[in-house]
Amino acid sequence: MGMAVGVVLAAGLGTRVGADGNKAYLPLSGRSMLIWSLQTLVQHPDVARTVLVFRRGEFVLARDSVQRELPGAQVEMVEGGETRHASEANVLGYLAADIESGAVDVVAIHDAARPLAGPDMFGSAIAIARECGGALPALPIAGLARVGATGLESLADQGPLVRVQTPQAFRAHELLRAYRSADRDGFEGTDTSSCIERYTAVQVRTFPGDTANLKVTYARDVAVAQRLLSQRSGPAAPR
């Protein structure tokens, strides 16, 4: 068995949350938002390497934030792309040699905008990915309907509907192969699992998500995340 690599994607913007720049660096309970996920990964016993995918032009910001707020932590840096898919492709290219050699067997990819994902969620994703090939946390969605020709139609007969979260973890060989195939075809997935489901026969299993694992998307989410982080571990002292 090889090692698991944890990846935090922080190459996006913050337009909907109201941030002037990259929302991943918004302060939450005394530290930058992305630092919460990085800290969880660097301290996790199942994660051998942690990689931060930063937005082009923000290497110094990313490096300085990690050095200031997680002193001594070993965090590798990879420049992201113009889209989420491109950022994932970049980090897989960076890891390609170690994946092909078998040194890396699982890659867990997580959004910096989800600072509340706990260590148990990463542990579950990695373990299920090793066993089945792919894993993602999901929460059930109830009470949905659509407008049809005869009015409202229930979606219940289409099977259970879920809302997926991150971290999403996958066997590294299959994940790398899927992204190389996507690059060949010019395909861009909406998330990691959509690409691997298109190009591989990997079984992607869901496991219970967490309602507290919210994605900071709008301004109101910042206050909710701040309160939840403070309740979970107490305010972090600014560095």
Cis preceding linkage at 71, omega within 30 = no
CB-CB contact of 114 with 108 (8 Å): no
Does residue 108 register a pLDDT over 90?
yes
The parent domain of residue 16 ranges over: 3-233
Asked whether residue 49 is assigned to any structural domain, the reply reads: yes
| Run of H or E including 100 | helix 84-101
Mean pLDDT of the chain: 89
Cα-atom radius of gyration of the chain, to the nearest Å?
18
| Structure confidence at residue 94 as a pLDDT band (50, 70, 90) | very high
Q: For 202-209, what is the mean pLDDT? A: 95
d(CA 117, CA 180): 29
Q: What is the pTM of this model?
A: 0.88
Classify residue 238: in a domain, yes or no: no
Query: Tens of pLDDT along 125-172?
Result: 999 999 999 999 999 876 555 666 555 555 555 556 678 999 999 999
What residues contact residue 72 under an 8 Å CB cut-off, 6+ apart?
none
pLDDT more than 90, % of the chain = 76
Provide the CATH number for the domain around residue 225.
3.90.550.10
Tell me the pLDDT band of 238, cut-offs 50, 70 and 90.
very low
Evaluate whether residue 194 is within a structural domain. Answer: yes
| Residue 172 domain-assigned (yes or no) | yes
Q: What is the pLDDT of residue 120?
A: 97
Residue 188 covered by a domain: yes
Both tokens of 113, joined, read: 């905008």
pLDDT at res. 195: 94
Nearest by Cα to 139 from 156, 115, 164, 120 = 164
6-23 burial, b for 16+ CB within 10 Å, e for fewer? Answer: bbbbbbbebeebebeebb
**Residue 78 forms part of a structural domain:** yes
Using a pLDDT cut of 70, give the percent of the chain over it. Answer: 85
In a domain, 39, yes or no: yes
- Per-residue pLDDT of 170-198, as tens digits, reads 999 999 999 999 999 999 988 899 999 99
Residue 239 lies in a domain: no
Number of domains in the chain: 1
